[in-house]
Amino acid sequence: MINNRTQIINKHQISNYKNKKVWNFGIVAWRLFGICFLVLGVFAFVRSANAATLYIFPDNENFYEGQTFSADVRLDTEGERINAGEIELQLDEESKNTLELIDFTTGNSLFSLIVGGPDIDTENKKIFLQAAHPGGFEGDGVIGTLILKALNIGEANLSFSQESKLALADGEGTPAEVKLEEATYIIEERPQNLPIVESQSHPIESQWAGGTFIRMNWEVKEGATYSYVLSRNPNEVPDEVPEDAVGDVKLSTNQEGIFYFHLRECMAGGCGPVATRQVLRDVSPPKGFEIIPETEAGRRFLSFTTTDNISGVSYYEILEGTHVTKIKNPPYILKDPQYKGKIIVKAFDKAGNVRQASISLSGEKAAYNKWLVLGIIVSVAGIAIFNFIRKRRKLNIKNE
């Protein structure tokens, strides 16, 4: 929408006309051209304003080599309503030795159904995700959180592939206009006087873990004082008030998510740069879920899905008789089409927390009727994604 937009057309004085019916064709032509240019400009602006935007936050930041950090992949629908997406992120060729794509967490995703992925192609430095939100989403929200590691000094450019697509929540999966924005990160040399911070409770900086507390430790230099803070803010700077406990500290929090432990070392000559270590904490299991038995074309399978609001669902483990199977995305096709008995499904999040559900196949009809509504929701989302992919293929064939 364009507010307070005023069209101004300069008026020219035309003199020395003996006959007022005689028009200056040049002036009229330029006026028409100006009006057309203005209208086209307004039209282009409106189309751009209505295009949904995929972007990364932060999109411009400096990090030290060896540092692990996170960035949110976000969607601003710009007034549209979106219910499905196919997202692909990639590093350009020059950035492949500068930045590492470690993980893509969808625990806080605006999409409630993860249809495919997230898959990380470590060789080609790409991340792929297919997801949907029955009923659609409108506004500005997080699709997922990237876990990244700065490898070497230089510049890293992270962008969305042109294959990234969004579908409108119009019942037909109409492709939405999409604006793609990239992020640039500068990797700097690690200062020699920067303290090395480690964690006994969360030993791997890029992996989620639980625990009742967060324990951080570092080497203490003689004559140095230290101040530190555990924060949600990746750029927070500790104050200059020395802490009593140094070198090995236990920090308690009831909160979950991504934290940053900031440490500053001060000597007689002043304080050095801030050392930051990322902490990924998740102590809650995925949400409860139900299992729906279904049959199609002679095949028996189980439909189920759940979410985890912190680290995201990592995988499912299915116990069918003596068979134990791990899958990333449902549904699960039974190994034995004639199997009757109890089946257990466990959902694990990325911190190892687990939620379990079970079903006896002797009660198929009752279970199906009870959860018919959920089945319809999942089916609608599937149809939207199918139509979205089908239209995309038609457009590709037409362009070829």
H/E/C letters for each residue in 249-301?
Answer: EEECCCCCEEEEEEEEEEECCEEEEEEEEEEEECCCCCCCCCCEEEEECCEEE
- Predicted pLDDT at 391: 53
Residue 326 burial (CB count, 10 A): 11
- Predicted pLDDT at 297: 81
Quick one: average pLDDT of 371-378?
Answer: 48
Structure pTM? 0.76
On whether the CB atoms of residues 159 and 92 are closer than 8 A, the answer is yes
Quick one: average pLDDT of 36-55?
Answer: 53
- Predicted pLDDT at 366: 37
Quick one: average pLDDT of 147-160?
Answer: 96
- Predicted pLDDT at 395: 46
Closest CA to 194 of 277, 278, 264, 267: 264
Asked which of 141-150, 332-341, 375-384 is least confident by mean pLDDT, the reply is 375-384
Confidence check: pLDDT of 383 > 90 = no
Query: How far is residue 18 from each of residues 13, 92, 361, measured CA to CA in Å?
Result: 14, 67, 98
- Predicted pLDDT at 384: 53
- Write down the mean pLDDT value for the chain: 82
Say how far apart CA 136 and CA 151 lie, in whole Å. 38
Residue 311 burial (CB count, 10 A): 30
Give the contacts of 33 (CB within 8 A, at least 6 positions apart).
none
Residue 143: both structure tokens together = 């699709």
Specify the 3-state DSSP secondary structure of 100: strand
Confidence check: pLDDT of 48 > 50 = no
The three-point CA angle 330-332-333 to 5° equals: 145
Asked which of 17-26, 83-92, 140-149, 180-189 is least confident by mean pLDDT, the reply is 17-26
Specify the 3-state DSSP secondary structure of 10: coil
Confidence class for position 51, pLDDT limits 50, 70, 90: confident
Quick one: average pLDDT of 354-366?
Answer: 78
H/E/C letters for each residue in 17-49?
Answer: CCCCCCCCHHHHHHHHHHHHHHHHHHHHHHHHH
- Predicted pLDDT at 28: 35
On whether the CB atoms of residues 340 and 362 are closer than 8 A, the answer is yes
Confidence check: pLDDT of 370 > 90 = no
Q: How confident is the model over 23-42, as pLDDT tens digits?
A: 343 433 334 334 333 333 33
- Predicted pLDDT at 382: 55
Closest CA to 117 of 310, 291, 314: 314
Nearest-Å Rg of the Cα atoms of the chain is: 28
Residue 332 burial (CB count, 10 A): 19
Confidence check: pLDDT of 380 > 70 = no
Specify the 3-state DSSP secondary structure of 183: strand
- Predicted pLDDT at 177: 95
Say how far apart CA 198 and CA 242 lie, in whole Å. 20
Q: How confident is the model over 239-276, as pLDDT tens digits?
A: 989 999 899 999 999 999 999 999 999 998 789 999 99
- Predicted pLDDT at 122: 86
- Predicted pLDDT at 247: 94
Q: How confident is the model over 168-211, as pLDDT tens digits?
A: 999 888 999 999 999 999 999 999 999 999 999 999 999 999 98
